Homo-oligomer: A and B are copies of this chain.
Amino acid sequence: MVFSYDKLFEFTKSILTAIGCPDAGAQEAASVLLSADLRGIDSHGVARLIGYVRLYEKGRINPNPKLSITYETPSTAVMDGDAALGLISGPEAMRLALKKAQEVGSGWVAVKNSNHFGIAGYHTMMALDQDCIGIAMTNASPLVAPTFSKERLLGTNPISVAIPSGDEPPFVLDMATTTAANGKLEILQRKNLSAPIGWVQDQDGNPITNANGVKEGGALLPLGGDREHGSHKGYGLGAVVDILSAVLSGANYGPWAPPFVAFLDPVDDPVGQGLGHFFGAMRIDGFRPAEEFKTHMDNWLRRFRNADTVTGQDQVLVPGDPEREMERDRRENGIPLLEPVARDLQSLADKYEIAFS
């Protein structure tokens, strides 16, 4: 089943409006959510709309939040998300970081009391046309075991960095700090396939190939997969994301981070408020003239894109290239949805009396 971007966008916006988001918020949140579908990160897109609605129904999301700055310096701030959709608090925090970057060279904004913010890359790409480098990260529900741990203490905690260029398409890194994102496991589960060793461990901490291992009490593994292949580095990066997003902001960190699924309740001994994010913006010309930087960045990008490839590969890719290609395709040919996702959307359509198909 393939749907046009415009159709999914309007539907998403209508649902968000129906649960009480003001028009501008619904508009922006739909843009953030749908950017995941366009870029091929299907796990973070419209497939999650019903999850957000369920959190709203549980009283865990405030559709019309009053975002406030609890503390700030010229280049830093903490924003209280007032239980917002991260799809709404995220872009607002990024705008604050960009404003500070325009004023004093860089801006860094930690957000507490928020919820999942869609794909990190949406937020960082907001920096590109302001000639800024954008940085975004977020903590998430604990599904990942640190190296040597049986327990799940971290989320898949993504990091995104977007860097402007001149004539070449820009550099947009957007990565989970795990070997594989949870969405990739879900694909294997649906196809009844095994996962490579290094993605998952069982509840005793043994490496396994069972793609359902996380659901059965196991854990996702940090980038690296095992100690010999540097999993302590992936764990370290995921930990930095957790600390900057949540300890610095006053959100729940580590195993206290609230679950995304509404059928699991948050812990009853929270150490902060909601989920946390962290955003950064640095003005290129706070370092060197932007045109000079972009000329060199184009040179960098061309050198990497034109590198000699190993046998069987056509091209060395730069972070963001596959997603850009996917977006071009899906804007033209539409966004395919799996049947269960389309069914979820239909159930939302029925409940809120909004036309879907």
The answer to whether B249 and A287 touch across the interface, beta carbons within 8 angstroms, is: yes
Minimum Cβ distance to chain B for residue A95 (Å): 18
Told that A106-B106, A239-B304, A249-B287 touch, could you supply 19 new A-B pairs with CB distance under 8 A?
Answer: A73-B106, A104-B104, A108-B282, A110-B287, A146-B316, A148-B310, A148-B317, A150-B307, A171-B239, A173-B237, A173-B239, A175-B237, A179-B229, A205-B310, A205-B311, A232-B319, A247-B296, A247-B297, A247-B300
Minimum Cβ distance to chain B for residue A68 (Å): 14
Contact with B along A219-233 (1 / 0, CB 8 A): 000011100111011
The answer to whether B78 and A75 touch across the interface, beta carbons within 8 angstroms, is: no
Are A153 and B297 also in contact (CB < 8 A) when A105-B75, A229-B198, A283-B76 are?
no
Instruction: Please tell me if A250 contacts chain B, counting CB pairs below 8 Å.
Output: yes
The answer to whether A106 and B303 touch across the interface, beta carbons within 8 angstroms, is: no
Q: In the complex, A304→B235 CA distance in Å?
A: 11
Contact with B along A306-332 (1 / 0, CB 8 A): 011111010111110000000000000
Q: Which residue of the partner chain, among B146, B171, B173, B317, contacts A304 with CB atoms under 8 Å?
A: B146
Number of interface residues, chain A, beta carbon within 8 A? 90
The answer to whether B75 and A248 touch across the interface, beta carbons within 8 angstroms, is: no
Contact with B along A233-253 (1 / 0, CB 8 A): 111110110111001111001
10 example contacts (A-B, Cβ-Cβ < 8 A) are as follows A73-B106, A76-B105, A108-B286, A110-B287, A153-B307, A175-B233, A223-B224, A253-B296, A271-B299, A272-B296
Are A74 and B146 also in contact (CB < 8 A) when A229-B229, A300-B253, A303-B153 are?
no
